[in-house]
Structure 1
């Protein structure tokens, strides 16, 4: 058994969203994405399905050009190879569940490419 919290060592940075691996299991990787208000992750996609769960804040989640407003507690799934983007309407914390086959480094690269 492993235990952690999405709120342990929570850090927001000014230049880009902050990506942290919170937990890794035999089938998934649980990632925390900490957004300051106005920060974005530009359009990107992954080859694998994902689950996005908004733990705190408010996010505009774009899928194929259509914008969806997510509020605290909202959760969604997205199949692989679907372009999507994120914009923080306020300081926000996102739980991202990745396939074990996917890479946190890929998510970090999206954050780096999106920094303001």
Structure 2
């Protein structure tokens, strides 16, 4: 058994989203992305399918240039190779479910370069 929390030890970077691996399993990785209002993750693609959950707050989630306003509790699933971007409309916590073969470092690099 593995335990993790989306609310404990929550940290915010001043200028960009904060990426933290919450847990890894045999099939995937659960990542927490902590956004302050206005933080962005520029358009990027993932090589594998992902699921994004807005746990707290609200974000603009762009898919192929179309903006979707996601609120607390909303989920979105994307296949690999789909261009997408995120912008926090308010301080937000996002859970990202990655394929085991995907890299948390790749996600952190997107945040650092946004």
Shift of 1:8: 1.4
3-state SS of 1:81 partner: coil
CA root-mean-square deviation: 0.5
Question: What is residue 79 of structure 1 aligned with on the other side?
Answer: 79
Alignment partner of 1:20 is 2:20: yes
Q: TM-score, normalised by structure 1?
A: 0.97
Q: Please name the residue that 2:52 is paired with.
A: 52
Residues 11-70 of structure 1: CA distance to partner in whole angstroms, max 9, x if unpaired? Answer: 111121000000111001000000000000000001100000000000000000000000
- 2:103 is aligned to 103
How many residue pairs end up in the alignment?
114
The residue aligned with 1:94 is: 94
Q: In structure 2, how many angstroms separate the alpha carbons of the residues matched to 1:31 and 1:54?
A: 12
Q: Secondary structure at the match of 2:3?
A: coil
Which 4+ runs in 1 deviate beyond 3 A? none
Gaps of 5+ in 1: none
Q: Deviations for 1:58-93, whole angstroms, at most 9, x for unmatched residues?
A: 000000000000000001100000000000000000
